[in-house]
Structure 1
């Protein structure tokens, strides 16, 4: 075996939970069909005399082997994490890996806000009866505790916060941990960010979250890179990938999905939510340099693409001026919605599954693209053998990340 990535890192397992499907088969099927779940959100704690649009998970299925005790006390974020990690763990056949040689990085901070709102409501006026487990569960590290207990992980586990870049930031930190020899296998996860009506209201007030324009047409509200976009539309999701060296995968006869060729992380020096053209260009340039690739080698881009009026425009400008307008481009969020902390990891899973199928999923509601010079995948799947892909994620506070993923070559 040999990796086409210069760092000899590969991805050997994936797991995903989303509003359009749980598990990789259901997920990729929905992507290829452009099947969505956008509607007025109904989960308790999401509305307060409001009618925010989003995509919610209808139900979670838990495989045999997951602790019923842990599941009972876990939040929605915790349950989605356990289910996604179980799929990735099984997919990569990790049972034989020494527990102290496995690490876990979870992308996301403040991911259980709706759960907390519901606790406040439930125990209002009866504080002495508050369940003691709240002392654990309000912290993001509780997700680490759930996962390390369930899967016996004894290397390390921690969370990293990068706003909407958190999932991809987790992948970068996991790759660095394996490359440096801290562990043999590192699991990277983008946590389900369970927002409440408080966050919905604030994000709407910021101008980041839509949709006033399509308030009575939820299925048309999520439209990244379309001229009629008016903000992102939220979507519940959780994504997990397993990263290790190719030599480690070979010892277990694990078949890699792809090679992690290179990555970059950079800051704008800006607290605010507005994107930075210069920061995005730097991240793209550094990721290509780290991977040893020229821009012309990239034949597919999975962008951040939220549907933000300013964000989408800035991102297309950065891609164009970085020499990437020749590459195929679609918008995973147009189908899944914006998973916030989960988005980067979920979209890497989407890239890997498209690479595996040699097909690119369509982009919903891309009726009038902002720039016709790009190679858009619009209303139907396109057959394409991905050689080298670029995934982008950006977050509030000036966080820019980019990851290059290359087809794995087996010899």
Structure 2
């Protein structure tokens, strides 16, 4: 079977810009989550969120910047870092053998909200002329394809919280099947706007703001967890077949070895342990590995009461009770929804490269630790050969990705 190498990483999140900054923050347990003011006019309560604060696409001329929604601008930043680390020229030498696969949950939700505001408040009513191309779910992937001349295929995946993880997995299969030699993959999300936040608050799954310690509002697997915290950002990876990478002298950061995808077909928002188990076991089979081969699991870990309990059950079913170290990095960067799987896979690759497993922050007491070996006491040095990253979505989609160290 064709081996697929990861040769480049990129990230931008509330933890800063760059895959190294992401790993540094996760290992030290530094939170990027802070308090947001809400909106009295819209009955939006103050909330916690992970906000990207670095300038975006400053080199773009203002007129060109009008083409991009915020999530697309962040996609450009993360992809540029991954592309540069892979040592590729600005545009790929063989466009017809290079693909893009990108995931997002709500795409240009900020641009959509801005259009509604202009339509209902401007006199005369008007919307931005680029509203449609900013909002569409394939906009970020299209910009990346044009920038790097990726013409073999474009996959635009919008499958809620599993979007970017599924995009990465489908690209893995695309490369194995010989449809391309290289793929730029990942995801981006920017839904920290009034409409999105109101929707999550109304659903009752968003954590209330911790007034005393806003940065600790997200507490996956903790007994006192009260819900997810939204984040924004983007993450990108360059995937190449081993033969393509070797031919140009590239160095593998890790091997993307397994992809498992399942659907609960049970409930729109309540997760199902059996579906998660099927995805994890499918990823292990695809990688040719057994549960004891996995030395770390980056859990989906949203900090919802039901979600964390179901995931603890499914991980224990696959690996055994307390049989594998587990952490949930959403405690520090927030839940990037469609981009979460890509950011967490980058985090997992970095943990493997550094041989240091990031902690699951803000856990005070946890009955779920009877099932999980939760990493709660800072980064744990480890000799890890292979790791798994989980992404489980509303709608019942489950994705597990397996990586292992390059020989």
Q: Which TM-score band applies after superposition, normalised by the shorter structure? A: over 0.9
Provide the rounded CA distance (Å) in 1 between the counterparts of 2:75 and 2:272.
31
Residue from 354, 358, 371 that aligns with 2:355: 358
Q: For residues 89-116 of structure 1, give each alpha carbon's deviation from its aligned partner in whole angstroms, at most 9, with x where no partner exists.
A: 1111232531221111111242222232
Q: Secondary structure at the match of 1:81?
A: helix
Contact 1:111-1:195 within 8 A present in 2 as well: no
Shift of 1:14: 0.9
Q: Secondary structure at the match of 1:168?
A: helix
Q: Secondary structure at the match of 2:250?
A: coil
The answer to whether 1:246 aligns with 2:242 is yes
Contact 2:70-2:190 within 8 A present in 1 as well: no
**Equivalent residue number for residue 263 of structure 1:** 259
Shift of 1:406: 0.8
Residue from 145, 148, 151 that aligns with 1:148: 145
**Equivalent residue number for residue 235 of structure 1:** 231
Q: For residues 200-232 of structure 1, give each alpha carbon's deviation from its aligned partner in whole angstroms, at most 9, with x where no partner exists.
A: 2222232322126x3553122110011000111
Contact 2:344-2:389 within 8 A present in 1 as well: yes
The answer to whether 1:13 aligns with 2:8 is yes
**Equivalent residue number for residue 296 of structure 2:** 300
**Equivalent residue number for residue 48 of structure 2:** 53
Residue from 68, 77, 85 that aligns with 2:79: 85
Q: Secondary structure at the match of 1:11?
A: strand
Shift of 1:264: 0.9
**Equivalent residue number for residue 27 of structure 1:** 22
Structure 2 unmatched runs, 5+:
none
Q: TM-score, normalised by structure 1?
A: 0.92
Contact 2:237-2:346 within 8 A present in 1 as well: yes
Q: What are the residue-to-residue correspondences of 1:161-310 with 2, within 5 Å?
A: 161-211=158-208, 214-215=210-211, 217-310=213-306
Provide the rounded CA distance (Å) in 1 between the counterparts of 2:39 and 2:149.
33
Provide the rounded CA distance (Å) in 1 between the counterparts of 2:246 and 2:391.
30
Aligned length: 402
Contact 2:16-2:54 within 8 A present in 1 as well: no
Q: For residues 18-40 of structure 1, give each alpha carbon's deviation from its aligned partner in whole angstroms, at most 9, with x where no partner exists.
A: 01111112111111111112222
Shift of 1:249: 0.8
Query: Which range moves more in the overlay, 180-189 or 195-204?
Result: 195-204
Contact 1:281-1:322 within 8 A present in 2 as well: yes
Q: 1:271 to 1:59 in 2, by over 3 A?
A: same
Q: For residues 40-92 of structure 1, give each alpha carbon's deviation from its aligned partner in whole angstroms, at most 9, with x where no partner exists.
A: 2259999754212111011235486x676543431211110011111111111
Shift of 1:359: 0.8
**Equivalent residue number for residue 39 of structure 1:** 34
Shift of 1:321: 1.3
Shift of 1:126: 3.4
Q: What are the residue-to-residue correspondences of 1:96-115 with 2, within 5 Å?
A: 96-115=92-111
CA-atom RMSD in angstroms: 2.2
Shift of 1:401: 0.8
Q: 1:269 to 1:28 in 2, by over 3 A?
A: same
Provide the rounded CA distance (Å) in 1 between the counterparts of 2:167 and 2:42.
30
**Equivalent residue number for residue 333 of structure 1:** 330
**Equivalent residue number for residue 3 of structure 1:** none
Q: 1:52 to 1:7 in 2, by over 3 A?
A: same
Provide the rounded CA distance (Å) in 1 between the counterparts of 2:346 and 2:153.
23
Contact 1:22-1:60 within 8 A present in 2 as well: no
Q: TM-score, normalised by structure 2?
A: 0.92
**Equivalent residue number for residue 343 of structure 2:** 346
